[in-house]
Amino acid sequence: MHTTWIIARREFGRYFATPAAYAVAFLFLLVLGILFYANIEASAMRSFMMPGYAPGVEIIINPMTTLLVFIVPVLTMRLLAEEQRSGTIELLLTAPVRDAAIIVGKWLGSFLFVAVLILLTLLYPLALNQLVQPGIDWGQVASGFTGLLLMAAALTALGTAISALFSNQIAAAIASLAVFLALWLIGYPASAGGGASSVWQYLDFSSHFYDTLARGIFDTRDIIYYLSVTALGLFLGTVILEMRRWR
Amino acid sequence: MAEAVIQVQNLTKTYGPRVAIDRLNFQAHKGEILGFLGPNGAGKTTTMRILTAYMPPTAGQARIAGFDVVDDSLEVRKRVGYLPERVPLYDDLSVLDYLLFMGKLRGVSDVDARAWEVLERVGLAERADSFVASLSKGMRQRLGLAQAILHQPEVLILDEPTIGLDPTQVVEVRDLIREIGREHTVLLSTHILAEAQQLCDRVLIINQGRIVAEDSPRNLQARLQGGQRIFVAVRGEVGQPLLQKLRSLEGVRLVETPAPDRLEIIAAEGQEVRPQIARTVLESGYDLLEIRLAEMTLEEIFLQLVGDNAPAAKGAAEAPHTEEA
């Protein structure tokens, strides 16, 4: 536990030392800001025609999920791939630290960074609250942001595991993006094919969010889904690291 | 002799069909500096990676301070300091932060004081705030060494510790290793023969995954200095009285018996001892079958051992009984 935390703090700190992480954070907040502005403007127009219309917090939360799918690969690509490329993995694997502690520490560091990014965007609901009458639904904010954090945990865990497979950061990023998009879209062909493929539906990453958490509904099934994906990612990461030893 | 700190039995590692190391057996004791000498690809790094619990062996056993590298790998890792060949460092950290990170990871108590102590020892204290990326190759090497001794390990494993250093730095690093070797067990690999001779109490020569010779540097030194090397064959088994007589001859540095009826004699530099040897052998009542001169430098011995000259390598590997003069 102790060593996990040492590694997590190191990873978290490393984001603040690299320009790439700042660039990602900047892009994330910039795109959200533009979308927020555009949404507010569109809503203002709409409220002329439909008196009483007010945008909900989903105008912030929904684009963030899509953005996460694209920024998490960039933030997790380095975690183990860079250690493997530079050879520092030899230091980690010969220090008295369990393989699982390395993976969990790496994941925790990247998750905390994404969590900071997500929590920074709480500014938008605060701003929106000032703009709409009679204010926004804070229950929806709570469930939406919980959902975003859960989603971030799951995506960073998968990204960590995929990073352990590579010694090239770019390859790790592209592979992560491919996996994320597959999980994101896996429900679409299923829903097109009829109701029989509920397994695919269950595995779908986005429906666990858009159908419930984004609307202010806490459903334990969705929370369990994201937590199990997180656990699976960390488990696979540990197995991959262990397998590297046996090669 | 005390119990061996490093114990290796029939250690084997294969990468697919390729055999990296093949049934290695050796030991190292406390306060001993053991040299691993061999060409690139001989299996030195593989052996070291197994001993540091970085990777498990395919077969065989390795123990560090009594702990098995597979079954008790965390205990092994606590007791081993390791400087890998590539000297992996985190470029984005300062020298001090790097040591603090590694120290915390290894659970070093009072890590601040210890990091400074180690920095002083490797002569990097004034660069404590520099980024690792800005260090010269020699400094990186010394920082890697600092990292390896940070947690005061019982066993220090150094993969090519002086590679890429300038001559002054080489001397510094060697002094440091010698100093560390007084209290700890050091296993270092090198392909520089002179280095192995200067530093090591014992040298293992490894080629193609096998130990082809094991010798004390005194013997190696005797060979390196280019004194005459004389092979003698007699009829019957050589007895102790003859060995004693030969050793007491003036100009004889070393007498070995590679086989019961063979003698290998190394003379001091510039000394002609063959007539005395021949006389002594005959006077002791032996039939002298052959007396032959073979001058060899350690480089030549090394080349012969590690070359594709299989009979020579085999012969050396089968020469276990070595007596020093």
Q: Provide the 8-state DSSP code for B131.
A: B
Nearest to B92 among A17, A90, A245 (CB): A17
pLDDT tens, residue by residue, A156-166:
999 999 999 99
> Quick one: pLDDT band at residue B90, thresholds 50, 70, 90?
very high
Q: What is the DSSP letter of B5?
A: S
What is the tens place of the pLDDT at every residue in A65-105?
889 999 999 999 999 999 999 999 999 999 999 999 999 99
Please state the ipTM of this predicted complex.
Answer: 0.87
Q: Give the nearest partner residue to A96 out of B54, B77, B92, using CB atoms.
A: B77
What is the pLDDT, as a whole number, of residue B314? 36
Residue A1 sits at the chain B interface (C-beta within 8 Å): no
Quote the DSSP letter at residue A215.
G
The interaxial angle of helices A99-120 and A19-49, nearest 10 deg, is 40
Q: Residue B52's beta-bridge partner residues?
A: none
- What percentage of chain B exceeds 70 in pLDDT? 87
- Which pLDDT band, with edges at 50, 70 and 90, does B276 fall under? confident
- Burial status of residue B2 (CB atoms within 10 A of its CB: 0-12, 13-18, 19 or more): exposed
- Please say if the pLDDT value at position B74 is more than 90: yes
Interface contact A19, partner B, CB < 8 A: no
Of residues B301 and A82, the one with the higher pLDDT is: A82
Cα R_g (chain A), whole angstroms: 19
| B54 has a chain A CB within 8 A of its CB | yes
Task: Check residues B267 and B130 and name the one with the higher pLDDT.
Answer: B130
The CA distance from A35 to A23, in Å, is 18
Give A93's contacts in chain B (Cβ within 8 Å). 53-54
Terminal Cα distance for chain A, rounded:
27
**For residue A82, which of A6, A171, A178 has the smallest C-alpha distance?**
A171
pLDDT band at B319 (very low <50, low <70, confident <90, very high): very low
Q: What is the pLDDT of residue B263?
A: 87
Peptide bond into A134 cis (omega under 30): yes
Chain B residue closest to A98 (CA)? B74
**CA–CA dist A202, A176 (Å, integer):** 20
> Which of A115, A27, A21, A118 minimizes the C-alpha distance to A74?
A21
Query: B49 and A90: CB-CB below 8 Å?
Result: yes
B47 in contact with chain A, both atoms CB, cutoff 8 A: no
**CB–CB of B84 and A90 under 8 A?**
yes
Better pLDDT: A245 or A13:
A13
Within 123-152 of B, beta carbons closer than 8 Å to A belong to 147
Find the CB nearest A3 among B49, B56, B105: B105
Please measure the distance between the N-terminal and C-terminal CA atoms of chain B and give it in whole angstroms.
Answer: 21
Q: Which comes out higher in pLDDT, residue B167 or B323? A: B167
Assess whether pLDDT exceeds 60 at residue B122: yes
Q: Contacts of residue A97 in chain B, CB cutoff 8 Å?
A: 77, 105
**Residue B205: enclosing H or E segment and its boundaries?**
strand B202-207
SS (H, E, C) B37-104: ECCCCCCHHHHHHHHCCCCCCCEEEEEECCEECCCCHHHHHHHEEEECCCCCCCCCCEHHHHHHHHHH
Query: So what's the pLDDT on residue B304?
Result: 62
**pTM check: above 0.95:** no
Name which of B146, B175, B201 is nearest B6 in CA terms: B201
Question: Looking at chain A, which residue has its C-alpha nearest residue B92?
Answer: A17
- Taking an 8 Å cut-off on Cβ atoms, the answer to whether A18 and B92 are in contact is yes
Of B202, B211, B209, B186, residue with least CA distance to B82: B186
- The rounded distance, in Å, linking the Cα atoms of A131 and A14 is 37
pLDDT, averaged across chain B: 83
Is B54 in Cβ contact with A245 (below 8 Å)?
yes
Task: Tell me the C-alpha distance between A5 and B201, whole Å.
Answer: 42
Instruction: Give CA separation, B46 vs A62, A197, B88, in Å.
Output: 51, 50, 17
What are the structural domain ranges in chain A? 2-246
Pick from B54, B82, B105 the residue to mutate for testing the A interface (most A CBs within 10 Å): B105
Q: Of A124, A111, A133, which Cα lies nearest the Cα of A226? A: A111
Quick one: which of B181, B223, B237, B236 has its CA closest to B325? B223
pLDDT beyond 70 at B65: yes
Contact call for A98 and B107, based on CB within 8 A: no
How far away is chain B from the Cα of A233, in angstroms, using its nearest Cα?
23
Alpha helices, DSSP H, located in B123-248: 137-149, 167-183, 193-199, 217-224, 240-248
Structural domains of chain B sorted by starting position, each given as residue range(s) with its CATH number in brackets: 6-217 (3.40.50.300), 227-295 (3.30.70.1560)
CA A24 to centroid of chain Cα atoms: 13
| DSSP-assigned beta bridge partners for residue B263 | B232
Asked if residue B322 has pLDDT above 50, the reply is no
Q: Which amino acid is at A71?
A: I
All residues of chain A having their beta carbon less than 8 Å from the beta carbon of residue B78 are: 96
Select the residue from B15, B18, B54, B100 to test the A interface by mutation, using most A Cβ atoms within 10 A: B54
A188-246 confidence digits (pLDDT tens)? 766 666 555 677 777 778 888 888 888 888 888 889 999 999 999 999 999 999 998 87
